[in-house]
């Protein structure tokens, strides 16, 4: 609460935080209060902060350029922690994983319109999922921006973990933007560059027997429940990498992330119906999203976290006009634009 309370209380003194960072912390603070402390007093602030955050996010990523490489994976980790209720025992995902219950929860979510019977943990999860789904929709529409790849990588690690638990994954069906995810994956496969992409089930490793070089977000993911079993057992065994170098961004990491994201996408496709992958055409699709759209199912914005409005449509170009400059891409990074 040392972090959340002063920011939730309002601007009593000048803050060094940017407006969008303040909004992001307000969202998570309000969700934490509801999920862990079972206190919904900041729900009005949550709706306002989430709406403003999503309105500003696309432009913020465009202006921040390479700095969003790091910001993106930290924000994705925070969002995944919100989905798990910051460790709350009654969190729906945690409960589903604990019982490994595989029945379809999507119908029960809409039964009984009496919201007074919804537990704080379930309400917090619904609001967190709405926030995360809208955030992911905005990020995934930046189809040729390499600076969003760490965010996507982390989110896919979380989805990979959930794909082992169909009962938990059922909560995301029809709400997480799997269609946009498949579109982004297809864009990476078609514009990823001349390097070979792995097609097998084995975690992508360095070429020619080189020592593992974890990505910066790999270090940030260590110890998180949803990252358990993702990395090979020897992935962090290279003691030649010193503490400061662990989070240093190298140009070659863009290609490595594309390999890793493609690998995880195919692993998820093999485990369930959320993504489909055709190895012959190297094409992803999201059949559940297509079915939901044809039947007019509620989208991620339907829970009203952002005041019932749709998030803005972000740029699908390489970068927004504000961000074009010398530091637009990492040196030697592939250019994803046509």
pLDDT surpassing 50 at residue 106: no
Q: Is the pLDDT of residue 308 over 60?
A: no
pLDDT at 306: 46
More confident residue, 233 or 245: 233
Sequence-ordered list of residues with C-beta below 8 angstroms from that of 252, at least 6 positions apart, any chain: 332
pLDDT score at 239: 62
Q: Which residue(s) pair with 276 in the sheet?
A: 285
pLDDT value at residue 142: 97
What per-residue confidence (pLDDT) applies to 196? Answer: 55
Per-residue pLDDT band for 10 (boundaries 50, 70, 90) equals confident
Q: What is the pLDDT of residues 46-86, one digit of tens each?
A: 999 999 999 999 999 999 999 999 999 999 999 999 999 99
Which span out of 127-136, 302-311, 315-324 was modeled with the highest average pLDDT? Answer: 127-136
In SS3 terms, 146-177 reads as HHHHHHHHHHHHHHHHHCCCHHHHHHHCCCCC
Confidence of residue 295 (pLDDT cuts 50, 70, 90): very low
Of the spans 187-201, 228-242, 312-326, which averages the highest pLDDT? Answer: 228-242
pLDDT higher than 50, residue 277: yes
The residue written with tokens 């910051």 in the block is 86
Q: What does the pLDDT average to over 304-329?
A: 41
pLDDT at 233: 86
Report whether pLDDT(309) > 70. no
Q: What mean pLDDT is predicted for residues 303-322?
A: 43
pLDDT at position 12 is 59
pLDDT tens column, 188-200:
988 644 455 556 6
How far is it, in rounded angstroms, from Cα 189 to Cα 219? 26
Judged by average pLDDT, the poorest of 99-108, 219-228, 328-337 is 328-337
The model's pTM: 0.81
Which pLDDT band, with edges at 50, 70 and 90, does 331 fall under?
very low
216: its two tokens: 């910066």
Whole-angstrom CA distances from 305 to 30, 46, 53, 253 are 12, 7, 11, 35
Residue in the block written with tokens 């012959």: 280
207: which 2 tokens? 């070429």
The answer, yes or no, to whether residue 303 has pLDDT greater than 60, is no
Residue 96 pLDDT > 50, yes or no? yes
Q: Kindly report the average pLDDT of the chain as a whole number.
A: 80
In this prediction, residue 310 carries a pLDDT of 45
Residue 198 confidence (pLDDT): 58
Stretch 247-254: mean pLDDT: 84
pLDDT at 147 over 90: yes
- How open is the CA angle 306-308-313, to the nearest 5 degrees? 70
Task: With beta carbons less than 8 A apart as the criterion, state whether 233 and 204 touch.
Answer: no
> 129-138, 210-219, 298-307: which range is least confident on average?
298-307
């Amino acid at each position: 609460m040392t972090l959340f309370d002063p920011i939730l209380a309002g601007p009593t003194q000048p803050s060094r935080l940017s407006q969008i960072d303040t909004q992001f912390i307000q969202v998570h603070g309000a969700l934490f209060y509801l999920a862990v402390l079972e206190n919904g007093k900041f729900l009005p602030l949550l709706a306002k902060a989430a709406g403003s955050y999503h309105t500003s996010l696309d432009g913020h990523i465009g202006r921040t350029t390479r700095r969003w490489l790091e910001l993106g994976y930290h924000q994705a980790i925070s969002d995944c922690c919100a989905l798990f209720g910051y460790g709350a025992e009654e969190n729906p995902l945690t409960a589903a994983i604990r019982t490994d219950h595989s029945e379809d929860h999507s119908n029960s979510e809409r039964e009984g319109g009496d919201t007074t019977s919804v537990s704080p943990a379930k309400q917090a999860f619904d609001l967190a999922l709405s926030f995360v789904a809208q955030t992911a929709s905005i990020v995934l529409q930046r189809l040729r921006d390499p600076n969003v790849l760490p965010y996507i990588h982390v989110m896919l690690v979380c989805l990979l973990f959930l794909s082992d638990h169909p009962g938990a994954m059922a909560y995301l069906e029809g709400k997480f933007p799997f269609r946009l995810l498949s579109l982004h994956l297809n864009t990476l496969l078609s514009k990823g560059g001349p390097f070979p992409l792995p097609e097998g089930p084995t975690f992508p490793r360095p070429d020619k027997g080189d020592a593992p070089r974890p990505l910066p977000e790999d270090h940030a993911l260590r110890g998180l429940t949803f990252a358990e079993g993702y990395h090979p057992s020897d992935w962090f065994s290279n003691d030649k990498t010193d503490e400061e170098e662990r989070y240093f961004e190298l140009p070659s990491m863009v290609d490595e992330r594309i390999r890793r994201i493609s690998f995880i996408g195919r692993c998820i496709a093999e485990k369930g119906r959320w993504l489909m992958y055709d190895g012959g055409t190297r094409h992803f699709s999201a059949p559940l999203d297509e079915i939901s759209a044809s039947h007019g199912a509620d989208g991620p914005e339907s829970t009203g976290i952002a005041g019932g409005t749709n998030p803005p449509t972000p740029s699908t170009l390489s970068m927004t006009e504000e961000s074009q400059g010398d530091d637009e891409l990492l040196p030697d990074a592939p250019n994803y634009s046509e």
